[in-house]
């Protein structure tokens, strides 16, 4: 499709979407009334800048069904985002939403070169998480043979890869590396592994990880991006050129904004990705702020596709960390630090990736009166903090006790995170 045709289609769909939410979602009607906008004011895709943003907080405030634009009886599936802090966010899909989703995933798979002749393992978790079922139905829709492996049993997974002649796999890039390691350890000869395509996503990854997974698993590794609020995986995908991820933009309209001024930024400039669901019925969202940082690339790709591409996600504009697939907020660590009388309210999270596994170190500062030369006492304290952190974060962290006054103080906004998993 030419750019003009695409923009015309997007404009038409946006107009329809705006009337839908205006009439069916009180939350959006109220927002639009406050801003003095009527559905008639939105004619072309350029009018999108007049519309309000939607944030994760809006989803939480309207939990669970407040943002649905379709009657509950039309909703045939619910998914949820992991929601480690506070209220989880849930999303509802109509039958048509599910059919568009599987079509979007099938497009991604086609761009990776998956065909009906492939045997494809879905190694994302099946359940409330969108990864498993989302990828599953898309692969099935394409006509490849889908193996719903899910997460958890790596030895069994390896066996299936060998025995069933699995050629494609969808999972997180870190799991792909773990799998590579496990296959190497298993002693199964490389000639018995027929993997050729990897669809990796759900967390940020680097060019180096691509090279490593490609080399060790003997496949072509492609990016798969998405988020539950918008749909799940399938919002964008790489092609054989591996030069940015094509956005499925007839369904998801992308914008980049400055997270500070909220102004729309031109193509090529880095900022926060904002997505509008142009065709969703169940829980359509206007200008959803993803918090994901990237930039948009325009111009025809060497693969022939004309859709806008996005660069790899570089980080998030809020302070949420994704560690081993789990959402971790520095504020959770803060709550633990603040509840322990032995600790000063200063802390630092140091995240790194060692042997392809995320590692979290939490540095805490011991109050002078509790700082002791007794190794036993210090070990006991360290253990207690470790347990507490584990129960709040749901992942383990290495606790490092710091001497009084050793952590950096800052005026104004303080820095609590050093993420060494630098993304190239």
Interface ranges with ligand ADP (CB under 6 A): 81-82, 130, 201-204, 223-228, 290, 292, 313, 316, 327
Residue 241 interaction partner, one of Zn ion, ligand ADP, none, beta carbon < 5-8 Å per kind: Zn ion
Residue 102 interaction partner, one of Zn ion, ligand ADP, none, beta carbon < 5-8 Å per kind: none
Q: Which of 11/282 has CB closer to ligand ADP?
A: 282
Q: Which of 154/327 has CB closer to ligand ADP?
A: 327
Asked if 1 interacts with Zn ion (CB under 5 A), we say no
Cβ contacts of 309-312, under 8 Å, gap ≥ 24: 309/236, 309/243, 309/244, 309/245, 309/246, 309/247, 310/225, 310/236, 310/244, 310/245, 310/247, 310/254, 310/273, 311/244, 311/270, 312/204, 312/205, 312/206, 312/223, 312/245, 312/423
Binding residues for Zn ion, rule CB under 5 A, total: 5
Residue 305 interaction partner, one of ligand ADP, Zn ion, none, beta carbon < 5-8 Å per kind: Zn ion
Q: How far is the CB of 248 from Zn ion (least distance, A)?
A: 13
Residue 313 interaction partner, one of Zn ion, ligand ADP, none, beta carbon < 5-8 Å per kind: ligand ADP
Q: How far is the CB of 310 from Zn ion (least distance, A)?
A: 12
C-alpha 400/C-alpha 221 separation (Å) is: 37
Whats the size of the chain, residue-wise? 424
CB count in 10 Å sphere of residue 175: 22
Residue 225 interaction partner, one of ligand ADP, Zn ion, none, beta carbon < 5-8 Å per kind: ligand ADP
Q: Which residues pair with 166 in a beta bridge?
A: none
Residue 173 interaction partner, one of ligand ADP, Zn ion, none, beta carbon < 5-8 Å per kind: none
What is the DSSP-derived secondary structure letter of residue 129? S
Residue 125 interaction partner, one of ligand ADP, Zn ion, none, beta carbon < 5-8 Å per kind: none
Residue 327 interaction partner, one of ligand ADP, Zn ion, none, beta carbon < 5-8 Å per kind: ligand ADP
Q: How far is the CB of 121 from ligand ADP (least distance, A)?
A: 18
Q: Which of 11/284 has CB closer to ligand ADP?
A: 284
Asked if 336 interacts with Zn ion (CB under 5 A), we say no
Q: What are phi and psi of 223, to 5 degrees?
A: -80, 140
What is the DSSP-derived secondary structure letter of residue 259? T
In this structure, the strands spanning 398-402 and 326-328 are unpaired
Q: Which of 247/385 has CB closer to Zn ion?
A: 247
Q: How far is the CB of 1 from ligand ADP (least distance, A)?
A: 24
Asked if 247 interacts with Zn ion (CB under 5 A), we say no
Q: How far is the CB of 168 from ligand ADP (least distance, A)?
A: 17
Query: Among 305, 324, 359, 388, which residue interacts with Zn ion (rule: CB under 5 A)?
Result: 305
Q: Which of 290/295 has CB closer to ligand ADP?
A: 290
Q: How far is the CB of 285 from ligand ADP (least distance, A)?
A: 13
Considering only residues 400 through 419, tell me which ones interact with Zn ion, judged by CB under 5 A: none
CB count in 10 Å sphere of residue 370: 16
Q: How far is the CB of 138 from Zn ion (least distance, A)?
A: 18
Q: Which of 11/132 has CB closer to ligand ADP?
A: 132
Binding mask 255-294 for Zn ion (x = CB under 5 A): ----------------------------------------
Nearest alpha carbon to residue 297 among 238, 244, 252: 244
C-alpha 67/C-alpha 59 separation (Å) is: 7
Q: Round the CA-based radius of gyration of the chain to a whole number and report it.
A: 23
b/e map 200-223, b = 16+ CB within 10 Å = bbbbbbeeebbebbbebbbbbbbb
Asked if 241 interacts with Zn ion (CB under 5 A), we say yes
On whether the CB atoms of residues 173 and 323 are closer than 8 A, the answer is no
Query: Among 303, 418, 422, 424, which residue interacts with Zn ion (rule: CB under 5 A)?
Result: 303
Q: Which residues contact 395 (CB under 8 A, 6 or more apart)?
A: 323, 324, 326, 328, 360
Q: What are phi and psi of 233, to 5 degrees?
A: -60, 150
Binding mask 188-227 for Zn ion (x = CB under 5 A): ----------------------------------------
Asked if 239 interacts with Zn ion (CB under 5 A), we say yes
Please report, for residues 122, 155, 269, 312, 386, the alpha-carbon distance to residue 295 in angstroms, rounded to integers and kept in the order given.
29, 39, 5, 8, 38
Q: How far is the CB of 280 from ligand ADP (least distance, A)?
A: 15
Report H helices in 43-127.
56-61, 95-112
Binding positions for Zn ion, rule: CB under 5 A: 239, 241, 301, 303, 305
């Amino acid at each position: 499709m030419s750019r003009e045709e695409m923009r015309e289609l997007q404009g038409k769909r946006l107009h329809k979407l705006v009337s839908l939410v205006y009439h069916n979602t009180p939350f959006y009607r109220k927002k639009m009334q406050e801003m003095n906008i009527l559905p008639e004011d939105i004619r072309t895709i350029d009018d999108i800048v007049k519309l309000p943003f939607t944030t994760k907080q809006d989803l939480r405030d309207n939990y669970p069904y407040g943002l649905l634009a379709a009657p509950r009886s039309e909703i045939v599936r619910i998914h949820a985002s992991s929601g480690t802090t506070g209220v989880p966010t849930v999303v509802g899909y109509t039958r048509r939403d599910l059919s568009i989703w599987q079509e979007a995933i099938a497009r991604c798979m086609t761009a990776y070169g998956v065909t009906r002749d492939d045997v494809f393992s879905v190694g994302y978790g099946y359940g409330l998480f969108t990864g498993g079922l989302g990828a599953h139905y898309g692969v099935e829709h394409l006509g490849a043979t889908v193996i719903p492996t899910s997460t958890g049993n790596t030895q069994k997974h390896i066996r299936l890869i060998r025995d069933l002649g699995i050629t494609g796999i969808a999972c997180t890039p870190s799991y792909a590396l773990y799998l590579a390691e496990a296959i190497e350890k298993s002693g199964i000869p490389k000639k018995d592994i027929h993997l050729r395509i990897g669809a990796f996503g759900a967390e940020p990854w680097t060019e180096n990880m691509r090279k490593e997974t490609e080399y060790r698993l003997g496949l072509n590794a492609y990016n798969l991006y998405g988020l539950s609020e918008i749909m799940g995986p399938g919002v964008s995908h790489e092609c054989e050129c591996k030069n940015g991820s094509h956005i499925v933009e007839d369904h998801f309209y992308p914008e980049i904004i400055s997270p500070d001024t909220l102004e729309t930024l031109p193509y090529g400039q880095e900022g926060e990705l904002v997505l509008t669901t142009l065709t969703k019925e169940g829980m359509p969202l206007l200008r959803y702020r993803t918090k994901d940082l990237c930039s948009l690339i325009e111009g025809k790709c060497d693969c022939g596709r004309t859709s806008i591409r996005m660069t790899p996600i570089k980080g998030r504009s809020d302070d949420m960390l994704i560690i081993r697939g789990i959402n971790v907020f520095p504020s959770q660590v803060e709550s633990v630090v603040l509840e322990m009388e032995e600790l000063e309210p200063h802390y630092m999270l140091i995240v790194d990736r060692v042997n392809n596994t995320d590692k979290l170190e939490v540095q805490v500062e011991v109050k002078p009166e509790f700082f002791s030369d007794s190794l036993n006492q210090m070990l006991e304290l360290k253990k207690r903090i470790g347990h507490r952190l584990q129960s709040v974060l749901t992942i383990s962290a290495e606790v490092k006790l710091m001497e009084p006054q050793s952590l950096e103080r800052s005026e104004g906004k303080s820095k609590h995170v050093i993420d060494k998993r630098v993304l190239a």
